[in-house]
Structure 1
Amino acid sequence: MPAPLAAHQLDQLQHDLRALQDMRTSPHAFSSAARGHADLLAALPPRYGEVLLGLLDRLEAGALFTEESCSFSHQGVVDSLQLWVDKARGVLMG
């Protein structure tokens, strides 16, 4: 059973990711909120934190582009974030 706060933070991250997908929040706002989920990151193996921070860095850097470019795909990063959330949920649920 996952720690209640970590599970809540994962649910919040999923909610925020949906808002990002629907363009109801900015990449920077999403990234800032995601970086604040310390209990979630503490409940996961260290590699999960490294991967999430790397994805958030890519998301923030990519926010400088107004359209998809050959070197950056906003949708690709969002898809990778969703995969991260799905895998994190699997780890937390044991």
Structure 2
Amino acid sequence: MSAVIQLDAIASGIAALQGGGGSVTTLSTAARASTELLGALPPRYGEVLLNLLDRLESSALFSEESCSFSQKDLLDNLQVWVDKARGQLVS
């Protein structure tokens, strides 16, 4: 699977969660398995992605009120990551 296809899969997972569907587990599993994508990006992209995924997974364990991480903010940050990663892939 190419890096762009893996990035598109992550973007689709984010969009599904933002739309009220999808699952954090599905998104996280797909993102963590995106080895071709992560190999095509500078190493710091992998570090940031894994950090965001860890926090997103933690937020999914609690209700919005009891978690220190806002799932909406984390999804917004993941979308920024996707946009920046896409810019790296095309440059």
Scaled by the length of structure 1, the TM-score of the pair is: 0.89
Q: Distance in 2 between matches of 1:15 and 1:83?
A: 14
Secondary structure of the 1:65 match is coil
CA deviation profile, 1:18-77 (whole Å, cap 9, x unmatched):
112112211122111111111000000000000000000000011111124472211110
Distance 1:76 1:7, change over 3 A: same
Report matched runs for 1:1-94 at 5 Å.
5-69=2-66, 71-94=68-91
In terms of fraction of residues, the more helix-rich structure is 2
Runs (4+) of structure 1 moved beyond 2 Å? none
Aligned CA-pair RMSD: 1.5
Q: How many residues align?
A: 91
Distance 1:30 1:15, change over 3 A: same
Secondary structure of the 2:2 match is helix
State the percentage of identical aligned residues.
57
